[in-house]
Structure 1
Amino acid sequence: MPDSRPLPQIGRHRLPNRVVLAPMAGVTDRPFRQLCRRLGAGLVVGEMVTSDPSLWHTRKSRQRMDHRGEPGPRTVQIAGGDAAMLAEAARLNAAQGAEIIDINMGCPAKKVCNKAAGSALLRDEALVAEILEAVVAAVDVPVTLKIRTGWCADSNNGLRVARLAESAGIQALAVHGRHRQQRYSGQAEYNTIADIKSRVNIPVFANGDIDSPEKAAFVLDYTGADAVMVGRGAQGNPWIFREIDHYLRHGQALPPPTERERADVLLDHLSALHAFYGETMGVRIARKHLGWYLASDHRLGEGRQRELRAAFNVLQHPAEQYDFIDDLFCPGSGPASSRAANGISAA
């Protein structure tokens, strides 16, 4: 049955549906965010940005903070372990146009946790409260939070952190159904998310292992969450957002994208990467995305996927990548390089 509850709201921003793109370092850059939004994501969250403004001059940070041409609400995720620095980072990002500030307390990466940031913060609830209160007080835009269920199996303190968040004025909470020490191993558990949702009055987004419309519907029903947040399930499969939204609204599955649409979306994505990063870096970054697209194509066995990845990874120029995609999905339809050069896209 369709979910009859009001759609989630973050401050003044009412989301158009219940499907959110999770922030992923090295993945949710501007080209990918724009693609996922076009294919049905109700909200997209950018790659995490360090809270240290002295590092914002680097090319990587400048690109992560680039939201030009994106529809609102523009959501910037900040990461760090110092309350005053996070508050200042929130102020500066809001001044540059961020409409929602998200705080990262969920990243399990060692290089983040070793700096007492990301999910490492869950070990210090007093510091969590200090950070949340400082950031909320620093800006006029809504502040959201992303967490895990806890630091380890013996410290499943997600509910206590959620209550701290609500008390501090956090306006939405995303919960990944694993503790930090699990990283991405095993299966996500949704009991903690359900417990949190039943005990707080702010929107809760369920995250972890959501890779199909049916799984999204199950997780929403099981947890009572207001939306699902999709991360790895969107890598190579940006159509998942419209598929989930359609299934939640109508209870029926959409047909999969045609081969022509798959080719056009891939060509459009690659073209956006080349334009955003420049030809050299764009060609390199396109390789990992192509690998994800191949992995999500269930018609291909692992051996064929490896063969195609190897062939694509030696290509050095955008035109070669375009023609590879067209030959793969729509052989005989003419050179994709000429169509891409003429601005033909999947839009």
Structure 2
Amino acid sequence: MAHISTTTPSAVALSIGQHRIASPVALAPMSGVTDAPFRRMVARFGAGWVVSEMVPSDDLALGEEEARLRAEGDGLDLHVVQIAGCEPHWMAEGAKVAAGAGAKVIDINMGCPAKRVTGGYAGSALMRDLDLAENLIKATVAAVDVPVTLKMRLGWDEASINAPELARRAEASGIQLITVHGRTRQQFYKGQADWSLIAEVRAAIGVPLVANGDVATVEQASDCLDRARADAVMIGRGAQGKPWFLAQVAAHLAGMAVPADPDLASQRDVAVELYEAQLTHYGVAVGVRHARKHLGWALDVAAGQAGASAMTLSAARRRVLTLDQPEQVIAALDEAYDALAWRAAA
């Protein structure tokens, strides 16, 4: 696999509990995206740490297979599992299962805006009931011996920006790092993340603060850190199709030259490696379907590097994303990347 090497100066020192973090750049938890194969790949390129997709705490505690797959982290030096729920008992039990299976950090989700999550009074809905949120945090922290972190939004809506208050309570309850997405729940992913409002959380806490939201370039990463007065930046959608992007951000923040994107041949190898890893992770029947979004993002990134429009790639892209036999998918990928290489050379 193509590799981007980064080093981080000692001035940028960050820890999660006893775990020293190599760079202040994290991969955000994204449901249906940050599965174990993708996290392993991003970590190998050089992310500071990576977080699992959200895992329902009760499903994990009850041994549901889908929850187990979401929480898997074999091969990761720092295995972080994010759990969600609205009942202290199940949050504690889910945290115990995750830690017992090897998680070195438990992250609590109080930021997911999806209606299926907030409808059950989990995710960002907890920002409407800080007493319940505090009880969930205390139960989770008490249940495990590993560090517990928290991810939240600015608040439920613009009239209730209460992230600083929740952060204060969280730190007092034992949370060791806090991540804030610079939007309210009611914004979902619309508009622009407000990094400056995250700085109000910085003034309220002494534990490390991570800023999240709309970081798609290395310049935006440094701007985000400055405006949020944060210790680290967390990147989600900016890494889709570009598992090397976090390493590029880390180099920029360290004052080093930012490595170029891997060439198209290396990008093809990365896409195929991730595809095959997801087939192994999920089984072929499920993996073929699950991997399509990653292949689509990879092709979009490659098309951009080659200077080709999405229209130019549309026929090959349709083939890659509709074929069901893995060998046919890989052959179609080869054809697509060969066409892009020809386009780039021309």
TM-score scaled by length of structure 1:
0.90
Q: Where do 1:303-318 residues align within 5 Å?
A: 303-318=311-326
Identity in percent: 43
* 2:170 aligned residue (146, 161, 165): 165
Q: Where do 1:93-242 residues align within 5 Å?
A: 93-242=98-247
In the alignment, the residues of structure 1 paired with residue 273 and residue 56 of structure 2 have an alpha-carbon distance, to the nearest angstrom, of 29
In the alignment, the residues of structure 2 paired with residue 227 and residue 168 of structure 1 have an alpha-carbon distance, to the nearest angstrom, of 22
In the alignment, the residues of structure 2 paired with residue 54 and residue 207 of structure 1 have an alpha-carbon distance, to the nearest angstrom, of 26
User: How large is the RMSD of aligned CA atoms in angstroms?
Assistant: 1.9
In the alignment, the residues of structure 2 paired with residue 146 and residue 19 of structure 1 have an alpha-carbon distance, to the nearest angstrom, of 15
Instruction: Identify if the C-alpha distance between structure 1 residues 85 and 314 changes in structure 2 by more than 3 Å, giving closer, same or farther.
Output: closer
* 1:288 aligned residue (270, 290, 293): 293
Q: Contact (CA 8 Å) 1:247, 1:254: kept in 2 or not?
A: no
Instruction: Identify if the C-alpha distance between structure 1 residues 93 and 209 changes in structure 2 by more than 3 Å, giving closer, same or farther.
Output: same
In the alignment, the residues of structure 2 paired with residue 38 and residue 63 of structure 1 have an alpha-carbon distance, to the nearest angstrom, of 20
Q: Contact (CA 8 Å) 1:294, 1:300: kept in 2 or not?
A: no
1:56, distance to aligned residue in structure 2 (A): 4.4
Q: Secondary structure at the match of 1:174?
A: strand
Q: Contact (CA 8 Å) 2:12, 2:23: kept in 1 or not?
A: no
Deviations 1:34-63 (A, max 9, x none): 110011111011111111147744432221
Q: Secondary structure at the match of 2:210?
A: strand
Instruction: Identify if the C-alpha distance between structure 1 residues 327 and 187 changes in structure 2 by more than 3 Å, giving closer, same or farther.
Output: same
Q: Secondary structure at the match of 2:176?
A: coil
The aligned length equals: 331
**Are 2:47 and 1:21 aligned?**
no
Partner of 2:257: 252
Instruction: Identify if the C-alpha distance between structure 1 residues 56 and 24 changes in structure 2 by more than 3 Å, giving closer, same or farther.
Output: farther
Deviations 1:69-105 (A, max 9, x none): x222211111000112211211222122211011000
Q: Contact (CA 8 Å) 2:59, 2:67: kept in 1 or not?
A: no
Which ranges in structure 2 are unaligned for 5 or more consecutive residues? 1-7, 342-346
1:65, distance to aligned residue in structure 2 (A): 2.3
1:253, distance to aligned residue in structure 2 (A): 2.6
In the alignment, the residues of structure 2 paired with residue 320 and residue 156 of structure 1 have an alpha-carbon distance, to the nearest angstrom, of 50
1:300, distance to aligned residue in structure 2 (A): 3.0
